[in-house]
Amino acid sequence: MSLTQRFPRSRGWAAGGAVRTRFISASTKQARRTGTIARQLPARRQPGPSLLAMALLPRRFLCFVLAHHFIAATACHEAEYGRQIRERCLRPFKISMEGIGQQLWCDWDETMGTYGELTNCTVAVAENLTCYWPNRLVDEFFVAVHSHYFRNCSPSGRALRDPPNGILCPFILVPILVTLLMTALVVWRSKRSEGIV
């Protein structure tokens, strides 16, 4: 499973999300300064204002109109989001991975369920805090998770590997030695059954 499947919108986000973040933060600053005025604005908006009317409005008013729509959306507090995904999502993930065991971290069949839960958890927290998903924090979060848990995995991610040489060599050498001993035994016994030593 490729990274794009884990982050279905990450490539699109990379282009548009950054722009959106900057726009949000710019209009947030404006909205905070003129918050009281913005809350009164809805009464002014008539259904179907003409483009000409909109163009005649001063630019600052335009910013306030637009900012109003984003007040609810920019309730995403990034530090809070980061704290919540670390507490509510990373902790059960850590426990689960410890339970699976370090040997099997690169085995996707074993870790798929836990990883999926981690992803869904970050989505749920984003919805709770009305953040966009995915976002820069989630991306950094997952890069950190990958660099800790999946650093040593091969590129295809699912290949099994031989045990270390300390275990492999005895497994191979012992049958060879037993073979040679058994052969010597048979040669010796067949010699003896001939009556000749």
Partner 1 sequence: VTLLQILCLFCNRTWDGWLCWDDTPAGRITAQNCPDYFPDFDPTERASKYCDETGNWFRHPESNRTWSNYTLCNSFTSEKLKMAFILYYMAIVGHALSITSLLISLAIFFYFKSLSCQRITLHKNLFFSYVLNSMFTIAHLIIVVPNPGLVKRDPVSCKVLQFFHQYMLGCNYFWMLCEGIYLHTLIVVAVFAEEQRLHWYYLLGWGFPLVPASIHAVARAKYFNDNCWMSVDTHLLYIVHGPVMAALLVNFFFLLNIVRVLVTKLRDTHRAESNMYMKAVRATLILVPLLGIQFVIIPWRPENRLAGEIYDYIMHILMHYQGLLVATIFCFFNGEVQGALKRQWTQYKTQWGQRRREHCSTRSTSYTATSITEVPVYLYHHDSNNEQLNGRYVDDSELVALKCGETSA
Does 193 contact partner 1 by CB under 8 A?
yes
Does 116 contact partner 1 by CB under 8 A?
no
Does 147 contact partner 1 by CB under 8 A?
no
The identity of residue 105, as a single letter, is W
Whole-angstrom Cα distance, residue 157 to residue 2? 9
Does 25 contact partner 1 by CB under 8 A?
no
Whole-angstrom Cα distance, residue 62 to residue 38? 10
Answer yes or no: are the C-beta atoms of 76 and 128 closer than 8 Å: no
The number of residues in the chain equals 197
Those residues with Cβ within 8 angstroms of residue 194's Cβ, 6 or more apart along the chain or in another chain: none
Within the chain, strands assigned E span none
Does 4 contact partner 1 by CB under 8 A?
yes
From the list 19-27, 30-38, 123-131, 152-160, the region that binds partner 1 by CB under 8 A is: 152-160
Does 47 contact partner 1 by CB under 8 A?
no
Instruction: List the one residue from 51, 147, 162, 166 that touches partner 1 (CB under 8 A).
Output: 162
Answer yes or no: are the C-beta atoms of 1 and 51 closer than 8 Å: no
Does 151 contact partner 1 by CB under 8 A?
no
Count interface residues toward partner 1 (CB under 8 A). Answer: 34
| Contact footprint for partner 1 (CB under 8 A) | 1-4, 11, 155-156, 160-163, 167-168, 171-176, 178-180, 182-183, 185-187, 189-191, 193-196
